[in-house]
């Protein structure tokens, strides 16, 4: 059995046989009243942010659970928009200014403005993840991107508008988010709303609106009846959504002022009466013109099953993919009731989930395989990896990290299926889809590069992104004690305590056969003269070996 087989087997056992036991179903959704220390705070922040650092975790311990939740759900303004960061790439927009309201001229002299703006947007999103602080917005933005996906959208302004919708409503009103997404330029382009017209209704968006975005479907009862909606509902809702068109995207001179958005075209709208099935109480939709899409969403959200459906999705994103019968009854149902009572406002229900006995049950620590964004950022951020701060170099470094996601099978803003990444819906593997014969070597290579050679930005003048282990060790308590070093490194990077044997193995990697006091003496000598390379290099090399060993453990891939 080779190393990959061992790795896969370890992950399989960890996920199939969770340590601990599920919480008492009667108290699963009750507020958590147990201990609040580093382990609990780290669990909360790892699930709600991308790779919290030890200072953030320590501050959360000091603040307490409720104050930490207040920070996670605090009101935030939208971030400053992405910029043109590179000279010679966008002659329409000066370097250091945003392109989001600039015109989209045809390419000239080999300049592809829109392609450069797409790179700028993706870089900017990575920057928002990296600099998020203690806040749930970016994690929820990625959740909604998976739940309401797009792909193949060439215009960066359409993509930017889409991301801002997700951020604006991240923990806000789910119904309002769906209303606005329905006529968002990116979604109209992605699911063929642009060609949905009275003479030839296109059912793509109507079907996904019901099946994947809002109410889901149950086992088919009769042909064309999915337990929550019918084929007739798909057809009638498609008719109700006719007439909307995106404008201002792509290379064109039609909107020289850079304007873009969506517009309703009355002559392309089906103005007949739409008859829904018994699944929606046989309701009819009269001709409401530009307001008709809102009536559709309101009717769909009149079904309680919508609340259950989105609560299950949130549960699978933040807790675990396997929703047991006990969890359905003790967690999903009361969470859905809370969402319903709050008129589909996400924050009250999600906050209750994240502060529940169920969420903090130790059996759910370290059972999720990290997606590529979590994987990369959970090394970069806690280990305080630096990047160049100049505008060009900073965006370039951020884009390089987004490029690292691609061989790990996550391309931001290019989700391969309308159902989202298969790790969040495809049975029976779910999260295990992130680990395979292609992605595992890539993960190992990236972590090895972070420790040793560094990850270079695309531009040669940017500094390489590499862990400065000599700097990082100064942030832990008692670095002259090898036991404290191993404990601190694993506590920061891994979701659960290790076994005594695992600790002993890692300590052996650090000491390389030497007794404990040798590390204490050697580190103390180095600390007195940190600029002496003869003293620094041996300490650096042993710390790199330890860090490399930790980042190669199956446990590092879990959260």
What percentage of the chain exceeds 90 in pLDDT?
Answer: 87
Which of 9-23, 61-75, 169-183, 517-531 is least confident? 9-23
DSSP state of 463: P
Tokens of 226: 């999915």
The packing angle between helices 113-130 and 391-405, to 10°, is: 80
Q: Is 512 left (phi over 0), alpha (psi -120 to 50) or beta?
A: left
- pLDDT number for residue 258: 78
pLDDT digits (tens, 9 = 90+) for 337-382: 999 999 999 999 999 999 999 999 999 999 999 999 999 999 999 9
DSSP characters for 367-397? -SBPPHHHHHHHHHTTTT-----SHHHHHHH
Domain edges within the chain: 195-302, 469-557
C-beta neighbour count of 174 within 10 angstroms: 24
The confidence score (pLDDT) of residue 24 equals 60
Coil vs helix vs strand at 178:
helix
SS3 readout for 47-91: HHCCCCCHHHHHHHHHHCHHHHHHHHCCCCCCCCCCECCCCCCCC
Q: What is the mean pLDDT of the chain?
A: 93
Tokens 């999903």 found at: 332
Find out whether 361 and 415 touch, Cβ atoms under 8 Å: no
- Residue-level pLDDT at 12: 45
Give the residue-averaged pLDDT of 188-214.
97
Q: Quote the CA–CA distance of 416 and 298 in Å, as a whole number.
A: 29
DSSP 328: I
pLDDT at 400 over 70: yes
CB 246 within 8 A of CB 158: yes
The pLDDT score that the predictor gives to residue 25 is 65
Residues 373-401, mean pLDDT to the nearest whole number: 96
- Sorting pLDDT into bands at 50, 70 and 90, what band is 91? confident
> For residue 140, what are the contacts with CB-CB under 8 A and spacing of at least 6?
166, 170, 171, 346
The pLDDT of residue 253 is above 80: no
| pLDDT value at residue 195 | 97
The distance from CA 121 to its chain's CA centroid, rounded to whole angstroms, is: 16
Q: Using CA atoms in the order 43, 47, 50, 52, what is the torsion angle rounded to 10 degrees?
A: -20
Closest CA to 128 of 47, 214, 49, 59: 49
* Mean predicted confidence (pLDDT) in 54-64: 98
pLDDT tens track for 467-504: 999 999 999 999 999 999 999 999 999 999 999 999 99
Q: How many helices (H) and strands (E) does the chain have?
A: 24, 4
Residue 269, token pair as written in the block? 């709208």
- Tell me what the mean pLDDT of segment 11-38 comes to: 68
SS3 state at 496: coil
CA distance 253 to 115: 17
Residue 410 near residue 146, CB atoms below 8 Å: no
Q: In angstroms, how far is CA 310 from the centroid of its own chain? A: 16
Alpha-carbon gap, residue 559 to 50, rounded angstroms: 11
Query: Are the C-beta atoms of residues 446 and 401 closer than 8 Å to each other?
Result: no
Is residue 17 pLDDT above 60, yes or no? no
User: How many Cα atoms are found within 13 Å in the side-chain-facing hemisphere of 423?
Assistant: 19
H helix or E strand, kind and range, residue 263: strand 261-264
pLDDT digits (tens, 9 = 90+) for 497-524: 999 999 999 999 999 999 999 999 999 9
pLDDT tens profile 97-108: 999 998 887 776
Query: What are the backbone dihedrals phi and psi of residue 224, each rounded to the nearest 5 degrees, phi first?
Result: 85, 0
Average pLDDT over residues 143-156: 96
DSSP state of 306: H
pLDDT above 50 for 8: no
Instruction: State yes or no: pLDDT of 409 exceeds 70.
Output: yes
Q: What is the pLDDT of residue 532?
A: 96
pLDDT at 285 (0 to 100): 97
pLDDT band of 14, cuts 50, 70, 90: very low
CA gyration radius, the chain: 26
Q: What pLDDT shows up at residue 19?
A: 42
| CB distance 435 to 347 below 8 Å | no
Q: Which long-range contacts (CB under 8 A, 24 or more apart) does 99-103 make?
A: 99/156, 99/157, 100/157, 100/160, 101/258, 101/259, 102/258, 103/255, 103/256, 103/257, 103/258
pLDDT at 5: 47
DSSP label of 261: E
Instruction: Note the pLDDT of residue 79.
Output: 97
Q: Note the pLDDT of residue 383.
A: 98
The structure's pTM equals 0.95
Query: How many residues would you count in the chain?
Result: 559
- pLDDT band at 4, cuts 50/70/90? very low
Q: Classify the C-alpha dihedral 335-338-344-348 as positive or negative.
A: negative
Q: Quick one: pLDDT band at residue 169, thresholds 50, 70, 90?
A: very high
Confidence of residue 299 (pLDDT cuts 50, 70, 90): very high
pLDDT tens-digit series, residues 111-120: 688 889 999 9
Q: Which tops the pLDDT comparison, 64 or 254?
A: 64
């Amino acid at each position: 059995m080779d190393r990959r087989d061992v790795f896969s087997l370890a992950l399989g056992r960890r996920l199939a046989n969770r340590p601990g036991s599920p919480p008492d179903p009667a108290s699963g959704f009750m507020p958590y009243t147990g201990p609040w220390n580093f382990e609990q705070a780290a669990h909360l922040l790892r699930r709600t942010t991308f790779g919290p650092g030890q200072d953030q975790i320590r501050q959360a311990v000091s603040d307490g659970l409720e104050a930490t939740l207040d920070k996670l759900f605090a009101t935030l303004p939208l971030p400053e928009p992405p910029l043109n960061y590179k000279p010679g790439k966008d002659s329409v927009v000066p370097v250091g200014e945003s392109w989001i309201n600039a015109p989209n001229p045809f390419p000239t002299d080999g300049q592809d403005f829109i392609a450069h703006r797409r790179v700028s947007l993706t870089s900017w999103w990575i920057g928002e993840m990296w600099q998020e602080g203690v806040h749930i917005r970016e994690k929820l933005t990625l959740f909604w991107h998976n739940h309401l996906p797009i792909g193949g959208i060439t215009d960066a302004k359409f993509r930017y508008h889409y991301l801002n919708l997700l951020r604006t409503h991240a923990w806000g009103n789910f119904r309002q988010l769906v209303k606005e997404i329905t006529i968002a330029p990116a979604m109209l382009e992605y699911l063929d709303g642009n060609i949905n017209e009275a003479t030839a209704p296109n059912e793509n968006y109507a079907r996904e609106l019901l099946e994947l975005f809002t109410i889901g479907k149950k086992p088919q009862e009769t042909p064309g009846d999915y337990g929550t909606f019918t084929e007739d509902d798909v057809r009638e809702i498609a008719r109700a959504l006719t007439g909307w068109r995106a404008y201002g995207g792509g290379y064109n001179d039609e909107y020289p002022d850079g304007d873009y958005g969506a517009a309703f075209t009355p002559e392309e709208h089906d103005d007949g009466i739409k008859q829904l099935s018994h699944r929606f109480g046989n309701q009819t939709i009269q001709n409401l013109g530009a307001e008709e899409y809102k009536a559709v969403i309101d009717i769909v959200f009149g079904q309680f099953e919508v609340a259950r459906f989105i609560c299950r999705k949130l549960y699978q994103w933040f807790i675990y993919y396997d929703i047991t019968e006990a969890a359905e009854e003790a967690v999903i149902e009361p969470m859905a009731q809370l969402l319903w009572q709050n008129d589909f406002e996400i924050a009250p229900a999600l906050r209750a989930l994240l502060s529940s006995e169920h969420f903090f049950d130790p059996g759910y620590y370290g059972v999720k395989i990290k997606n590529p964004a979590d994987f990369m950022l959970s090394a970069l951020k806690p280990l305080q990896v630096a990047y160049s701060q100049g505008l060009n170099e900073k965006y370039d470094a951020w884009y390089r990290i987004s490029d690292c996601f691609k061989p790990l099978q996550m391309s931001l803003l290019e989700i391969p299926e309308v159902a989202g990444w298969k790790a969040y819906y495809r049975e029976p593997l779910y999260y295990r889809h992130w680990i395979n014969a292609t992605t595992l070597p890539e993960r190992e290579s990236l972590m090895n590069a972070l420790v040793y050679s560094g990850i270079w930005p695309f531009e040669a003048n940017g500094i390489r992104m590499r862990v400065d282990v000599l700097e990082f060790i100064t942030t832990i308590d008692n670095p002259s004690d090898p036991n404290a070093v191993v404990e601190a490194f694993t506590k920061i990077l891994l979701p659960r305590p290790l076994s005594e044997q695992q600790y002993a193995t890692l300590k052996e990697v650090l000491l390389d056969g030497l007794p404990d006091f040798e590390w204490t003496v050697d580190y103390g000598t180095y600390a007195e003269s940190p600029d002496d390379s003869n003293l620094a290099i041996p300490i650096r090399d042993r710390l790199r070996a330890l860090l490399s060993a930790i980042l190669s453990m199956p446990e590092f891939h879990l959260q």
